[in-house]
Amino acid sequence: MYRTHTCGELRQQHVGVAVTLAGWVQTVRKFGSITFVDLRDRYGITQLLFGEELNRQLTEDPPGREFVLQVIGTVTERTNKNPNIPTGDIEIKVDSFKTLNRSVTPPFTIQDDTDGGDDLRMKYRYLDLRRNAVKKNLELRYAVGRAARNYLHEQQFMDIETPFLIKSTPEGARDFVVPSRMNQGQFYALPQSPQTFKQLLMVSGYDRYYQIVKCFRDEDLRADRQPEFTQIDCEMSFVEQEDILNMFEGMIKHIFKAVKNIDYTEKVERMTWEQAMWNYGNDKPDIRFGMKLLNLKSAFTRSERINSQLEAVLDEGNASLISGAGFGVFDNAETVLAIAVPGCSEYTRKQTDELTEWVKRPQIGMQGLVFIKYNTDGSLKSSVDKFYNEEKLKAIATAAGAVPGDLILILAGREERTRKAISELRLEMGRRLGLRKDNEFKLLWVLDFPLFEYAEEENRWVARHHPFTSPKPSDISVMINNSPVIENPEKYLEHPYSNIKANAYDMVLNGNEIGGGSIRIFQRELQEKMFAALGMSQEEALHKFGFLLGAFEYGAPPHGGIAFGFDRLCAILGGSESIRDFIAFPKNNSGRDVMLDAPSAIDDQQLEELSIALKVESR
Amino acid sequence: MYRTHTCGELRQQHVGVAVTLAGWVQTVRKFGSITFVDLRDRYGITQLLFGEELNRQLTEDPPGREFVLQVIGTVTERTNKNPNIPTGDIEIKVDSFKTLNRSVTPPFTIQDDTDGGDDLRMKYRYLDLRRNAVKKNLELRYAVGRAARNYLHEQQFMDIETPFLIKSTPEGARDFVVPSRMNQGQFYALPQSPQTFKQLLMVSGYDRYYQIVKCFRDEDLRADRQPEFTQIDCEMSFVEQEDILNMFEGMIKHIFKAVKNIDYTEKVERMTWEQAMWNYGNDKPDIRFGMKLLNLKSAFTRSERINSQLEAVLDEGNASLISGAGFGVFDNAETVLAIAVPGCSEYTRKQTDELTEWVKRPQIGMQGLVFIKYNTDGSLKSSVDKFYNEEKLKAIATAAGAVPGDLILILAGREERTRKAISELRLEMGRRLGLRKDNEFKLLWVLDFPLFEYAEEENRWVARHHPFTSPKPSDISVMINNSPVIENPEKYLEHPYSNIKANAYDMVLNGNEIGGGSIRIFQRELQEKMFAALGMSQEEALHKFGFLLGAFEYGAPPHGGIAFGFDRLCAILGGSESIRDFIAFPKNNSGRDVMLDAPSAIDDQQLEELSIALKVESR
């Protein structure tokens, strides 16, 4: 070993001990004939004191920033203690030192507040990883992974590795493919998830499976998506939805305790997908704050069945709050939604103008914003004063849950866009008001998702979650007894399939989906019906998923599972919105590793061996 | 939950408890009006007793092999206890049952001794995985992984994920490549190991890294190789070879204790690569038994330097034991090697003939076998009696370490082939004599490997381990001060590079390499010299490994590491020679997953999006 101790472990009690340390030079400070060096390693920082007798060597071989030093010396008590670091009581009186390696000047400072831009830090990722802020993220990631493993082990889950070179069965996202040299003209695919393998493991009787595993999706990368990402992937046999919810809120609570020392003792809240959409405009609501939507008018309830299932049924009275006033914007809109923003009644014209501009941005895409100020003196003032008198404004404000001092914001337009916009506006106002605290964690289960989504271009159903998700038991007969064919695309919402609910659940943390899963189909007939519902021919289903259909014939148990987005979970626990900060070697938004310069051209010989040809010039 | 208890947990103390179980039907036995069913799950087997009152339902809905049942009943004490299973004291008096799923007849029996052939079991892997033998293997694998993680965690290693979509830098094995859609004409590669990333993490100051990680090599598959395999991959900073050896024999001993309850307290044996080759003909000797080689004549010592470093220097006396007798086979051979097989002097003619045939097989490739019987009465008999009198035979036998009762086997021929052949013969005789016991474990470090190997076709040096391995400190100057160019291919052994030793080590368990690693180069200049030594131009080195050379400029610490073959380690601990039995979903020798039928053709649209074309017809 090049050291007897790390740079983080020496304390008052070690005074007088002869030690050898090795690490990186964080700073060099000269005071007259004495030189102080802060030596850094993963475990901490220790101050080194070089006396006058070492000045000659220091002059000949001067240690610079990020040099690697080995020093031999004695632990001594500091006269000027530093209470901010654990080793602050001591320093090392250096007897001799050796430069193990030099460093050229780093392209940015290795500090919490670095002067490096994103691109530079990605290119020199090995230097960015030295920064304390990044190191803390990776330490947190390791702690989260370990806590998850420990919990799952206690619960008798087994870590079982599933293959990475599998079969391409594109349904949903695009596969990354790998040409096979030994089977020319054929390709493996990289897994988008181990979904079918974990189901096979249940058929094989493994009962409880987990894996922290890389998955791959070749999608156009939106901000903060990575082509390779990590899942905590789990599956259980002989369970119903309730068992899964309990098991995995247990896991997340265990992680909270182990990693953040948070006792999350309350029951995790639950709401249906419809409640989430109705009250928050979003299937992953941030429930750290209220500001629920007032549905003044909505197309969400076009389907009678949805309407009847909603607890908060659209009260026709709400519509009457705005109708008949001659305000065309509301009268002609498909949907009108409002939120009451607490304590903002005194927003200036400038502020409300800025909010209006905000909702008009292309990302939000609304035409305008209506506001009502519910002043602290009880009076009301609005941008639509000429259509609504104070009494009417008060009725709207009250329906929105406002009290004096609040600002009511109202959006109107097409159902989908308006609901999405008010949801974004709610989150933005929550952010501005400091209601979305990094150190506050609120979990939520969203349940009862629709099983299908309508794909307009193809006029067919696609699986909202994936094709292995079971319908709610009560909806199975609806699926079996009806044809998936959509005769009238205009009226797809009236097709019985549009109302089938899935036995699926998402776990939401602070407005982010951190996990999602479902109870699976485990009968061959129902699985075949599902493939058919998605427009797959029997031949295609057999070609792609014959192994799974086959497996279901040999005693498949009822089973279900969940997968957590490990990168995202770590980011949120670390108080960040960006997963990239929690991945050791992330790719940029073009899917490139700029440090490696990958992907890159490969040799002609490699192409030759694979019997493939490029149809474009490679760089 | 579909159950209150598993099929493995009920005991005498539960008698009288009302329970619900769910699992698979292992057997159905009718005794008169009573039916017994053995119900199986991951945790065990519980006997169910169906009384007469259930006969009607049993007739209508008869449970068959591998059906999935849910039963409600009461735990009762068995009159006829089964001491062979943990639940053997009790059975369940069934009150009601439900068939959760049916099974068609499996293509082979789900038993330890299955009647299924390899191909059938691979195709129906999900059924093979149900067999107890396979399940035990995967449980062992999980236990080994968990023990490794726990040990490494205690030693302050951090699990850090490295990327799977990296850059193709073929040097050694062939890369699997992944065409990029977003960067057309360019390819990612799948990692053959996370080698450069773990080194970057050391440069980044992470100090101790580990990962249990999939790696990929597109090689022609010899028996028992897989295109994707798993490594326990580790790296440490500020260490010398001795630190790594201690740390990782600690890990393996921890695994022995945790998984097999073996206290491996003795110090792990060590030998140099040369000692291993000299004494066992092999760089991964099985030291559970002796039968060391007698080097009667050897070309291994052509290089003076090797000779001087060997403890067991070729005694010229050994050569005189066989020379001058007029036996052309020995006289003309480059190498003559012998082993003394204990207790086999009474082998019959048929048996020695069979051994002769064995060494003549193409896999061994020798011309013949010379034997000397050292009879228990002290007399000697040989197949070369006419060249060697009894006194001379006795001298050879004694030099080989034989005692009366032993059989001496001698092979002669070209150095490399003969050494390999005698090594195989030694292992074969050890196996036949029962000296290679599944439940005996002998660890060994093999040290001081050559840094380079000579590649005849290209007349250049290749890295024996990989290009990041450091030479022994004393050999660094030899490398720096000599040109890698081999002027005279015939005399490559006289080139200074042929004698450079690596700071590399392999861990061997029972004759299998289970891990290998090295102290790494951490200086840019030496790394550049290494790339040059391997015939890489400066431009090529920069293109492939510029990121690593760059990183070495910013204060790279001394570091080293090791990687264990996780699949192989598990197989050996499980007493098997085949890694396939320890992988949930293995591929066959053509790299195919016959269950999935992968690799397979992909859609034209997928090819189109990737801008690649096939130069062969896909199936």
Residue carrying structure tokens 């020995």:
B330
- At residue B311 the predicted structure's pLDDT band, cuts being 50, 70 and 90, is very low
Both A227 and A256 in one domain: the answer is yes
Domain span at B379: 289-436
Please report the pLDDT score of residue B544 as a whole number: 93
| CB distance B412 to B330 below 8 Å | yes
A117 in a structural domain: no
Q: Coil, helix or strand for A300?
A: coil
A181 in a structural domain: yes
Question: What is the C-alpha separation between A102 and A187, in angstroms, rounded?
Answer: 46
Cα dist. B284→A134, A358, B277, B442 in Å? 42, 69, 9, 12
Per-residue pLDDT tens over the stretch B100-110: 999 999 999 88
Pull the structure tokens for residue A300: 């969400």
Question: What is the C-alpha separation between A399 and A339, in angstroms, rounded?
Answer: 10
pLDDT, mean of residues B551-566: 98
Any residues with CB less than 8 A from the CB of B521 and at least 6 apart, and which? B468, B469, B470, B527, B530
Strands A504-509 and A228-237: unpaired
Question: Is A590 in Cβ contact with B207 (below 8 Å)?
Answer: no
**Which residues does chain A have within 8 Å of residue B185's beta carbon, measured at their own beta carbons?**
601, 614, 616-619
Measuring CA to CA, which residue among B526, B338, B500 is closest to residue B426? B338
Q: How many structural domains does chain B have?
A: 4
Chain B: residue nearest A618 by CA?
B185
Beta strands in A253-347 (DSSP E): 269-272, 294-297, 335-341
Q: Which of B436, B471, B492 is the last residue of a domain?
A: B436
Both B547 and B585 in one domain: the answer is no
Question: What is the C-alpha separation between A425 and A360, in angstroms, rounded?
Answer: 11
Any residues with CB less than 8 A from the CB of A304 and at least 6 apart, and which? none
Question: What is the C-alpha separation between A373 and A344, in angstroms, rounded?
Answer: 8
Both B601 and B491 in one domain: the answer is no
User: Does residue B487 have a pLDDT over 80?
Assistant: yes
Pick A205's closest partner by Cβ from B2, B24, B228: B24
Both B412 and B460 in one domain: the answer is no
Both A360 and A465 in one domain: the answer is no
Please report the pLDDT score of residue B315 as a whole number: 53
Looking at residue A29, its amino acid is R
Please report the pLDDT score of residue B324 as a whole number: 84
Looking at residue B442, its amino acid is K
Question: What is the C-alpha separation between B267 and B248, in angstroms, rounded?
Answer: 12
Looking at residue B65, its amino acid is R
Question: Is A129 in Cβ contact with B205 (below 8 Å)?
Answer: yes
B107 in a structural domain: no
Question: Is B601 in Cβ contact with A162 (below 8 Å)?
Answer: no
Measuring CA to CA, which residue among A295, A299, A421 is closest to residue A366? A421
Both B488 and B583 in one domain: the answer is no
Chain B: residue nearest A211 by CA?
B142
Question: Is B127 in Cβ contact with A554 (below 8 Å)?
Answer: yes
Per-residue pLDDT tens over the stretch B59-88: 999 999 999 999 999 999 999 999 999 999
Tell me which of B19, B161, B167, B233 to substitute to probe the interface with A (most A C-beta atoms closer than 10 Å): B161
Beta strands in B482-592 (DSSP E): 504-509, 512-519, 559-565
| CB distance A227 to A215 below 8 Å | no
| CB distance B49 to B91 below 8 Å | yes
A283 in a structural domain: no
**Considering Cα of A487, then A489, then A491, then A497, what sign does the dihedral take?**
positive
Cα dist. B448→A158, B172, B241, B451, B505 in Å? 39, 21, 11, 8, 7
Please report the pLDDT score of residue A304 as a whole number: 46
Looking at residue A588, its amino acid is N
| CB distance A527 to A479 below 8 Å | no
Per-residue pLDDT tens over the stretch B8-45: 999 999 999 999 999 999 999 999 999 999 999 999 99
Question: Is A600 in Cβ contact with B167 (below 8 Å)?
Answer: yes
Chain B: residue nearest A187 by CA?
B599
Q: Which of A101, A116, A141 is the last residue of a domain?
A: A101
| Least trusted range by pLDDT, from A321-325, B151-155, B164-168, B312-316 | B312-316
B3 in a structural domain: no
Question: Is A522 in Cβ contact with B216 (below 8 Å)?
Answer: no
Per-residue pLDDT tens over the stretch B151-162: 999 999 999 999
Pick A619's closest partner by Cβ from B100, B185, B547: B185
Question: What is the C-alpha separation between B128 and B142, in angstroms, rounded?
Answer: 18
Both B467 and B420 in one domain: the answer is no
Helix (H) or strand (E) holding B237: strand B228-237
A279 in a structural domain: no
**In chain A, which stretches have pLDDT less than 50?**
302-305, 307, 311-312
Pick B167's closest partner by Cβ from A200, A598, A613: A598
Both B144 and B247 in one domain: the answer is yes
User: Does residue B194 have a pLDDT over 80?
Assistant: yes
Residue by residue, DSSP assigns B330-393 as: HHH-SEEEEEEETT-TT--HHHHHHHHHHHHSTTT--S--EEEEE-TTS-EEETTTTTS-HHHH
Supply φ then ψ for residue B228, to 5 degrees: -120, 135
- At residue B312 the predicted structure's pLDDT band, cuts being 50, 70 and 90, is very low
Per-residue pLDDT tens over the stretch B434-453: 999 988 999 999 999 999 99
Question: What is the C-alpha separation between B326 and B322, in angstroms, rounded?
Answer: 9
Chain B: residue nearest A522 by CA?
B101
Please report the pLDDT score of residue A457 as a whole number: 87
Q: Which of A61, A83, A101 is the last residue of a domain?
A: A101
Residue carrying structure tokens 């695309």:
A489
Question: What is the C-alpha separation between A376 and A383, in angstroms, rounded?
Answer: 18
Measuring CA to CA, which residue among A381, A382, A375 is closest to residue A403? A375
CATH number for the domain that contains residue B332: 3.30.1360.30
**Which residues does chain B have within 8 Å of residue A127's beta carbon, measured at their own beta carbons?**
204, 554
Both A171 and A246 in one domain: the answer is yes
Please report the pLDDT score of residue B301 as a whole number: 58
Both A296 and A205 in one domain: the answer is no
Both B241 and B306 in one domain: the answer is no
CATH number for the domain that contains residue A95: 2.40.50.140
Pick B177's closest partner by Cβ from A200, A243, A606: A606
**Considering Cα of A337, then A343, then A345, then A346, what sign does the dihedral take?**
negative
Looking at residue A80, its amino acid is N
Both A535 and A599 in one domain: the answer is no
Per-residue pLDDT tens over the stretch B576-589: 988 999 999 999 98
Chain B: residue nearest A194 by CA?
B585
User: Does residue B313 have a pLDDT over 70?
Assistant: no
| CB distance A337 to A418 below 8 Å | yes
Measuring CA to CA, which residue among B540, B168, B162, B516 is closest to residue A609? B168
Question: Is A617 in Cβ contact with B170 (below 8 Å)?
Answer: no
CATH number for the domain that contains residue A160: 3.30.930.10
A174 in a structural domain: yes
B442 in a structural domain: no
User: Does residue B113 have a pLDDT over 90?
Assistant: no
